[in-house]
Structure 1
Amino acid sequence: MLKSALEHAVREEEIPRNAARNVHTGTPRPRRFEPVTADEAGQFLAATRGHRSHALFELALHTGLRKGELLGLRWEDLDLDAGTAVIRRTLQRRRAHHAAHQDAGLRAPHRPSHPLRPLAEAPPRAAAAWQRSGHVFTTVQGGAIEPTNLTRAFTRLLRKAGLRRIRFHDLRHSTATLLPEQGVELVVIKELLGHAHIGVTATVYAHVRLRLQRDAIDTLSTALGSPAITTGNGDNDEPLACAIVR
């Protein structure tokens, strides 16, 4: 990142040379993802039912939106009749006790009609202390939700659901993992998640699941007229794979 920034400064003639150009960087270690399965996602949503942020979590799993994009959603970004949302900004924590909006670039309209239905049916706010911030997801007083507070609530709800601890961002990875299982093409996932290049989608989410790979092998085995491969044919027999190799 530093090398890229300095290279840009060289092109703009702000500095004479890029001091980081000859620095050797090692191969980056692949990031670990902890996506939830479809059953775990359903278990989590069942645990959040009745929570004031239930629609937020449901929208996160249906669309793969980032935490800041969800918290930055405003009512003018939604078309409840059409069931669509346009991503224009993100809410990020700049420093302690301060959150600020940042332009996210216009993203194509999402169509999360089912998660938006509870928002359309939500009763009007009548509290005297209610502040009209324009945000879709707010605190009890109507202000913007602090990202760290949402993370704490998310962790508590994971414990309530009896699930392992994951990051909020893993909900986005879960969406990208579950979509291929439903037969959605990579290019559609790229547009939904807002990646600039399809290579990012292919690299980050290439680990769809070992189960999908096994299913693919079993499907091919069925097509070729042979039974699905098993791990062995008895306690004292050699593994089937060894016999095939010889």
Structure 2
Amino acid sequence: MTTPRDTSGSRRTRANGDGTVYQRKDRRWEAAGYVLTPGNTRRRVRVYGNSRTEALVKLTEKIAASNRGVPAVTAQGSLSAFLTYWLENVAVHHLRETTHTRYIAVVEQYLIPGLGRKKLTKLTAKDVRTWLNQLRTTCQCCTRHLDAARDEPRCCVAGQCCFKLLSPLTLTYIHSVLKSALEHAVREEEIPRNVARNVRTGTPRPRRFEPLTTDEARRLLTTAQDHRLHTLFELALHTGLRKGELLGLRWEDLDLDAGTVAIRRTLQRTSAGGLTTLPTKTRASERRIALPTRCIQSLKRHHEQQQREREAAGTAWQHNGHVFTTAQGGPIDPTNLTRAFTTLLGKAGLRHIRFHDLRHSTATLLLEQGVELVVIKELLGHAHIGVTATVYAHVRLRLQRDAIDLLDRALDHP
């Protein structure tokens, strides 16, 4: 009996359904077999590798997924079919739920309507560039027929286009979702290269924020003294914690004797689970920070207040261990916290800012007090100090100017 050898042109006998594996003239190995594709049909697919084993492993993975009922998207299919497959079978396992929800919205609202009919293999950089340019200059009310859901049309249906254009940041995000999807198609060897990477969208300007000045911060805290969530606003301004991190805090995370708090989780509203506690945004976001004495005292008083609310609620109390809760012990919806913050700003006579700008206010005020950038980076939980330096570059420039002016005066007047 002749034993097959791994030489050029040699083939091995395999069972029905296992596919074929052979070496090509270019010395690479090719494996081919039939798998399930969208539409409940079967199609022959080919995969490649530098060795027989590598090609065979790739084909076996595709056939195994097919046997589980997961359709394989072939290069002959449309971009729409591939994006649907990628969201349902790949991205869902590697992204946070909130991020996956945003990806679904981008795919359904922009990618599929704009590029979905294109064949995956025939998509070009020119196609992507042309589509992005159209997005950049097209009113989204007209394109997405938003007037149809309004009681009173105020755009195309009314004959007056409002020219609601996408921001550069949104365009960059849409482009990044397409690049991520096509990158996976390259890894699965459905396409030879990621054409979206050859398209430049430019670097968008960082989002402008309006941090509070020292006087405004004092006024906000003074006005919040009688607010039920006074401790939360005080903690936000003194530590720069994100909204979700504040709402996700549990008493077990606090060590009031040592004056520290461990940031381990964040509270967010998801489409599937409602208000859900999730891991922190990044590994760097999981951190332990020191608490100022003022916040420690406020947290102790807040704990006493929560105990009184628990006694008043009786059996209706929802025990979940959160530091900041509703009057019945349930988690606070981030949207409701935003509403309460907006009301507080109006009561204090302050300009409108986002809740997230409290975080920027903390960093700005610390920089102005001469605190090192690396300390602020650790406090805010940024992954890299470059992020901190970029976001607060304007503050550092102003401090440099003050320092240079101070030196200039010292040299002029010894």
TM-score grouping bracket, smaller chain normalisation: 0.7 to 0.9
Matched, 1:221 2:408: yes
Aligned CA distance change for structure 1 residues 5 and 50 (closer, same or farther; 3 Å): same
Higher helix share: 2
Task: Please state whether the residue corresponding to 1:119 is helix, strand or coil.
Answer: helix
Give the partner amino acid of 2:332: I
Q: Distance in 2 between matches of 1:165 and 1:191?
A: 28
Equivalent in the alignment of 2:295: 115
Structure 2 distance, partners of 1:162, 1:140, is 27
The yes-or-no answer on 1:163 pairing with 2:350 is yes
In structure 2, the partner of 1:200 is 387
Larger radius of gyration: 2
Alignment match of 1:13 (pick from 172, 180, 188): 188
Task: Give the equivalent residue in structure 2 for 1:188.
Answer: 375
TM-fit CA distance, 1:10: 5.4
Which whole-Å CA distance do the structure 2 matches of 1:14 and 1:86 have between them? 43
Q: How far apart in 2 are the matches of 1:103 and 1:131? A: 22
Q: Relative to structure 2, which stretch is displaced further, 164-173 or 128-137?
A: 128-137
Deviation digits for residues 158-215 of structure 1, max 9, x if unmatched? 0111100000000000011011111111111111111111111010111117764553
Query: 1:50 Cα shift?
Result: 1.6
Is 1:55 matched with 2:231? yes
Matches within 5 A, 1:67-106: 67-95=243-271, 98-104=274-280, 105=283
Q: In 2, Cα distance between the equivalents of 1:218 and 1:78?
A: 43
- Offset, 1:30: 2.5
TM-score when scaled to structure 1?
0.84
1:2 is matched by which residue type in structure 2?
Answer: V
Task: Give CA-to-partner distance per residue, 1:55-98, whole Å, 9 cap, x none.
Answer: 11111111111000100111111111111111111111223992
Q: Structure 1 82/11 Cα, relative in aligned 2: closer, same or farther at 3 Å?
A: farther
Whether the aligned pair in 2 keeps the contact of 1:6 and 1:18 (CA below 8 Å) is no
For residues 219 and 273 of structure 2, what CA distance do their matches in structure 1 show?
32
> Relative CO higher for 1 or 2, CA cutoff 8 Å, sep ≥ 6?
1
Q: Are 1:44 and 2:220 counterparts?
A: yes
Please, what is the CA RMSD of the aligned residues? Answer: 2.3
Distance 2:258 2:361 in 1: 26
SS at match of 2:322: coil
Distance 1:159 1:99 in 2: 27
Q: CA deviation at 1:142?
A: 0.6
Secondary structure class of the residue paired with 2:198: coil
The letter of the residue matching 1:215 is D
Q: Which amino acid aligns with 1:117?
A: Q
Deviates most, 21-30 or 84-93: 21-30
Alignment: residue pair count: 227
Letter in 2 for 1:59: L
Q: Secondary structure at the match of 2:395?
A: coil
Give the aligned residue type for 1:147. P
Supply the AA of the counterpart residue of 1:30.
Answer: P
Contact 2:260 2:291 in 1 (8 A): yes
Instruction: Sort the Cα spacing of 1:39 and 1:210 in 2 relative to 1 into closer, same or farther, 3 A.
Output: farther
Percent of pairs identical after alignment?
67
Distance 2:356 2:189 in 1: 36
Whole-angstrom CA distance in 2 between matches of 1:162 and 1:209: 29
